[in-house]
Amino acid sequence: MPPALADRIALVTGASRGIGYATAVALAKAGAHIVAVARTVGGLEELDDAIKALGGSATLVPLDLKDYEGIDRLALALHERFGRLDVLVGNAGIQHRRPLVDFATADWQRVLDTNLTACFVLARTAARPMIAQRAGRIILTASMMGPAIARPTVSAYIAAKGGLVALTKALAVELGPHGICCNAIAPGYFATEMNAALLADAEFTAFVGKRTPLGRWGRNEEIGGVAVFLASAASSYVNGHALFVDGGLTAAM
Ligand code: GCO
């Protein structure tokens, strides 16, 4: 039985660390060739080593996702090299924590540009080859923050991630007729670098343990299997869904 993603080309953004890194490793383990995107190639070398150690392969692409023309150029280069694109994981994202009244417009714009607009541009770019091949998977890393819950000081992140779930639905209905499934992964609290400040806060960490039925933070590798599912034939009738990976947090009162 060939691996679930044998011969597939999967583009993963924000692949140098955290959820993106774990997703890229999981998709590589499932047989995909990974096109790993991060701001610098240096940040991708550890991932490249990890994928090679699995017997997999990766193409490392340094790209600032605010370079929207650069995203279009990347798609052309991928098409010339591989002739296809099977999976897009729009994962890259940033966080900015400030009370609303102190939240600068420039910081709001930066979070929205990186977390939401870049995913729109990536999806529009990936849709072209996927429409041509009448198959594809678009997976956006959203969050429980936005579609389900909110908390103070992260207004831009919440708005962007809520927008990602709405964008996922828009993509699902527009690309579904072309055989393309578009879904979101909505993580709960994961022990990522983005959350280092929260993990260092004993009170907040205790709060997450109490608020989450599984009693702990998520581990980055616990996202990988979900991404493989949404990227593979196993999810061939899942479209427009936001899959919460939160230990039950949003199920609890
Ligand atoms: C925060 C955190 C959260 C979570 C994220 C999980 O400051 O509350 O960054 O936003 O990490 O929502 O998806």
Active site residue 157: yes
Per-residue pLDDT of the chain (253 residues; tens, 9 = 90+): 888 999 999 999 999 999 999 999 999 999 999 999 999 888 899 999 999 999 999 999 999 999 999 999 998 899 899 999 999 999 999 999 999 999 999 999 999 999 999 999 999 999 999 999 999 999 999 999 999 999 999 999 999 999 999 999 999 999 999 999 999 999 999 999 999 999 999 999 999 999 999 999 999 999 999 999 999 999 999 999 999 999 999 999 9
Q: Where are the domains of the chain?
A: 9-242
Rounded Cα distance, 247 and 213, in Å: 6
Rounded Cα distance, 219 and 18, in Å: 9
Pocket flag, ligand 1, residue 143 (CB < 6 Å): yes
Pocket flag, ligand 1, residue 91 (CB < 6 Å): no
Q: Which of 150, 151, 146, 148 is nearest to 162 (CA)?
A: 146
Whole-model pTM over 0.85: yes
Q: Which of 189, 160, 36 is nearest to 96 (CA)?
A: 160
Pocket test of ligand 1: the residue of 189, 226, 245 to mutate, having most ligand atoms within 8 Å of its CB, is 189
Instruction: Tell me which amino acid residue 15 is.
Output: A
DSSP 218: B
- What single string gives the DSSP state of each residue in 146-192? TTTB--TT-HHHHHHHHHHHHHHHHHHHHHGGGTEEEEEEEE-SB--
Instruction: Tell me which amino acid residue 247 is.
Output: G
Pocket test of ligand 1: the residue of 143, 161, 199, 216 to mutate, having most ligand atoms within 8 Å of its CB, is 143
Pocket flag, ligand 1, residue 19 (CB < 6 Å): no
For the domain 9-242, what is the CATH code? 3.40.50.720
